[in-house]
Amino acid sequence: MSDSANKGRVVVVGSFNVDHVWALPALPRPGETLAGTYRTGPGGKGFNQATAAARAGATTAFVCALGDDAGGRLARELAAGDGLDLRALRSAEPTGTAGIYVDADGRNTIVIGPGANAELSPAFVGEHAAALDAAQVALTQLETPLESAIAAFARARDAGGSTLLNPAPADAVASDALWALTDIATPNETEFCAQLQRRGGDALDPDALAGLDDAALHAHCRRLLAHGSVVITLGKSGCFVSHADGALRGDEQAFYRVPAAAVKAIDTTGAGDAFNGALAAALARDPDAAFGEHVRYAVRFAGLSTERAGAAAAMPSDAELRARFG
C-alpha cells in the first residue's frame, strides 16, 4: 500500500461506549464471584473502528450519538486528539456503556448498555450526507439502529462508495435491506454462524468453523452474502476470505486464508474493531491494490492491537505497524 495514497476517506456510523473492564484469571461462571483488576476507558465498536481507521492513515468521520455527560465529553476530547471528524447527535440518554471481563489468555465477554447509541436516527445520518458522498468506504456495525445503518449505506452506495458491514454483535439482526446494500461483510466465527442461520443457512459450530474445508466454508459464505465479499475473522487462525464469482477485487482466487500475525496477545477486546477500521482505511487509501493486500494489513494491525490493554486506546498507528512488520 503506497504512502502517497493516504488521503482516502472513511465514514464510520456507529457506537461510542465507556468501557468498564475487569481483568481476572478466568472468566466468571454463573453464580460465581471473582476478584479482578478494574480499569475504564473509551470503547464502542463504532468509536474503536473510527479510531483504528484514523490511526491507519485514513481521513475519518465518525457519526454517532452521545449523552450530555462525562462519557460524551470524553468522546469529544478523544476524537479531537485523533483528528476524527466527529458528527455527534446530542442525546438526553446517557452515553453508552460496556461491561467487559478479560481472562489471563486475553479472551473476553462483553455486555452492552446502548444508552444514547439507540437514539442515532436516519434523519441525523442524512444531515451528514456530504461526508458520506465524499467517502471511499462507509463502515457500520449493529450497535446502532438498523435504519440508520441502512440510510448510511444507501447514501454511500449512491455516491459510488464501498460499504463495509461488521455484523456484530452476534445477537443483533441485520435485515435483508442492509445485506443488499453491503459490499463486504466481516463477521467473526460466532457472528458468522449466527447471521448465516438467520439467513436460512446451515447451523454451524463456531468453535469448529476454522477447521472446515475451504471449499465448504466458501459455499457457506456465498449463502451469507451471495453478491459480495465475506471476511471471517478467526482469531489465532487468522481469517478466511470469500469473493463472489467474477468479483475478486483484484485477487487471483475466489477464496483463501490469511494467517494471523505473530504477536503476543494480552487483550483481544478490540481486535475485531482494529481489523475493521484498518481494512476500511486500507481500502480507502489504495483502492487499486488487491483485496488480499488490504486484508493482510488489517490482520497485522489487529494483531498489534492485542499486545496492549484496552479497546480504542490499544489501536496502533500506521507508523508503528510498518516499524514492526515492514
Catalytic residues: 273
For 50, other C-beta atoms within 10 Å of its C-beta total 35
How would you classify the pairing of strands 37-43 and 96-102? unpaired
How would you classify the pairing of strands 96-102 and 17-23? parallel
H or E element in which residue 112 lies: strand 108-113
3-state secondary structure 243-312: CECCECCCCCCCEEEECCCCCCCCCCCCHHHHHHHHHHHHHHHCCCCCHHHHHHHHHHHHHHHCCCCCCH
- Which residues are CB-contacts of 78 (< 8 A; sequence separation ≥ 6)? 42, 47, 51, 312
User: What angle (nearest 5°) sits at the alpha carbon of residue 166, between those of residues 149 and 143?
Assistant: 55
- What are the Cα distances from residue 277, in Å, to 57, 62, 164, 199, 282? 10, 11, 10, 26, 9
At 200 the three-state DSSP class reads coil
In DSSP terms, 47 is beta-bridged to: none
Cell of 244: 463472489
For residues 213 and 131, what is the distance between their CA atoms, to the nearest angstrom?
41
Place of cell 465479499: 229
Q: Is 90 exposed, middle or buried (0-12, 13-18, 19+ CB in 10 A)?
A: exposed
For residues 152 and 157, what is the distance between their CA atoms, to the nearest angstrom?
9
At 99 the three-state DSSP class reads strand
